[in-house]
Structure 1
Amino acid sequence: MTVILGIDIGGSGIKGAPVNTRTGELAGERYRIPTPPGARPDDVKAVVAQLVEHFGLPGAVGVTFPGIVQHGRTLSAANVDPDWIGLDADALFTEATGHELHLINDADAAGLAEAQFGAGRGVMGTVMMLTFGTGIGSALIHDGKLVPNTEFGHLWLREKHAEDWASDRARERDDLNWKQWIKRVNKYLQHLELLFSPDLFIIGGGVSKRADKWLPHVELGRSRLVPAALQNEAGIVGAAMMAAELAAGHAAGPAPKPAKTAKGGTKK
């Protein structure tokens, strides 16, 4: 199926839209519901079910989550209720919606979308997507393949997590102008450049809409840097892409087992 529902769980809102996964374009209007206070699993589950019912699309659904997602389980909860830690969220949402549902880290979803349809399209080598908002999300992509759950916003920098010092929330909290904020971000980016030597940095989150304020002040050695192209749609698009890929894999079924030889071995 080409059109898949993507849902993006954010700190202030949970939004969804149907996505044409061949083109990366939304196939309908976005629909947004405010994130329930505290973002507890049962409350968020109810909103996700409401979005799925609103669109009424058949088939798989992709959902982003602001934390580590491994094999359908949410393993961290930096900015949401701690009851998410260790939860089989794929199963929770699948039962609530009656649809095959797949969860992915929100920055990973944005990175996939930008790599295939946005600012990283056609770029080979190492692409690092960073989303600046309440925290700093990250996605690492090499030759189009995602390395999931990198969480580079939690790198130790200036005796604290980088996101505590250089996120967009830190900019607002410390009343920094754009030039003061990008001075902090430069230190962070230079540290990442030293560690990973990415061919391209893509900067997403709310700050990507105001790139004219900070982009002229970026200071890097080797890597290129560009603002995200898909902006608020990236998470929705990436979630739908991931769900489409996993649903196709499930439809194909498991790989055939090797045939046994007469002596009980397997044929090469």
Structure 2
Amino acid sequence: MSNGFGIDIGGTGIKGALVDLERGDLAGERVRIPTPQPATVPAVLDTVKAVIDQAGWDGPVGCTFPGIVRHGVIGSAANVDKGWIGVDLAQQLSEKIGHPAVILNDADAAGIAEMQFGAGRDRNGVVIIVTLGTGIGTAVFVDGTLVPNTELGHIELDGFDAETRASSAAREREELSYKKWAVRLQRYFSHMEMLFSPDLFIVGGGVSKKSEKFLPRLDLKTEIVPAQLLNQSGIVGAAVEAARVTA
């Protein structure tokens, strides 16, 4: 059995687990430590190492980050400490743990997992994974190839940054019913449909567990389905990408 290790850096928790790279499932217990506040670079690096140590892993890791990642360097930090911008996380984490570290955008990692093991498996054409959480993350695939760092949650819609109106956090913050939230999602997905003419939308994030409350309310030409790997997709995708890069 081939295993790897994935880490998912989130706004509230840093999670990591051993991943079965053949099945796309967790091969060990998931370790979660609350994200330090403030989420400075040294504090987060210490927490990531603590997750790895607690899991007993000694090898290369894949790690997600909620922002643009170019060649291991952080390019944006919409929902985390701005001190991350320009940080070479791949180099710093590698030095911290003594093994190669592969860094990628969190939605891209979720997309990799869904395309290889979940709702996007064996699907060609244009597939867009949309994660609804604190913000809106996106991953775009063309015939199975990732177009990284798309950040389509930040498109302007009706004068607003889309994720400030249509994310899961926005629904909770404004205490919207699923019916009212679906009106905003309809506007967002219709706009995405107009821009990209995708063959498939896959909706992820924790709220995808309740997809029956809002997906049937959407009227789109494009097929839209819930993600299958749910909250472990980031960990799985990170581990898969690390194994590919460090092979």
The residue that corresponds to 1:238 in the other structure is 237
Q: How far apart, CA to CA, are the structure 2 residues paired with 1:53 and 1:94? A: 14
Q: Indicate the residue corresponding to 2:78 in structure 1.
A: 78
Specify every segment of 5 or more residues in structure 1 that has no aligned partner in the other structure, as ranges: 249-268
Tell me the equivalent position of 1:19.
19
Amino acid at match of 1:50: A
- Where 2:150 maps in the other structure, the secondary structure is coil
Deviation for aligned residue 1:57 = 2.5
Counterpart secondary structure, 1:78: coil
Relative to the length of structure 2, the TM-score reads 0.98
How many aligned positions are there?
247
Hey, what does 1:247 align to over in structure 2? 246
**What's the CA shift string for 1:158-190, capped at 9, x where partnerless?**
101100111111111222100100110111101
Residue in 2 that maps onto 1:49: 49
Which residue is equivalent to 1:229?
228
Unaligned runs of 5+ in 2: none
Query: Identity of counterpart residues, as a percentage?
Result: 54
Aligned CA RMSD, in angstroms, stands at 1.0
Q: Matches of 1:204 and 1:165 in 2, distance apart?
A: 17
Task: Supply the distance in 2 between the matched residues of 1:91 and 1:182 (Cα, whole angstroms).
Answer: 41
Taking the aligned partners of 1:192 and 1:27, their CA distance within structure 2 comes to: 36
For 1:70, give the aligned amino acid. R
Following superposition of structure 1 onto structure 2, how do residues 148-167 of structure 1 map, counting pairs within 5 Å? Answer: 148-167=148-167
Structure with bigger gyration radius: 1
Give the aligned partner of residue 97 of structure 2.
97
Q: Deviations over 1:12-66 (max 9, x none)?
A: 1111111111221111110100010121111100011111212232321000000
| Equivalent-residue separation in structure 1 for 2:35 and 2:62 (angstroms) | 17
3-state SS of the aligned residue for 1:42? Answer: helix
Instruction: After superposing the two structures, state which structure 1 stretch, 51-60 or 117-126, moved more.
Output: 51-60
Q: Distance in 2 between matches of 1:111 and 1:165?
A: 23
- The one-character-per-residue Cα deviations of 1:103-152 (angstroms, maximum 9, x if unpaired) are 11000000010011011111111110000111000000111111000000
Alpha-carbon distance in structure 2 between the residues aligned to 1:136 and 1:224: 19
What does the per-residue CA deviation read over 1:237-268, in whole Å, with 9 as the maximum and x for residues that have no partner?
000011000001xxxxxxxxxxxxxxxxxxxx
Counterpart CA distance in 1 for 2:107 and 2:144 is 15
1:172 matched to which residue of 2? 172
Amino acid at match of 1:234: S
1:58 aligned to 2:58?
Answer: yes
Residues 68-121 of structure 1 deviation map (CA, whole Å, 9 limit, x = unaligned): 000000010111111100110101111111111111100000001001101111
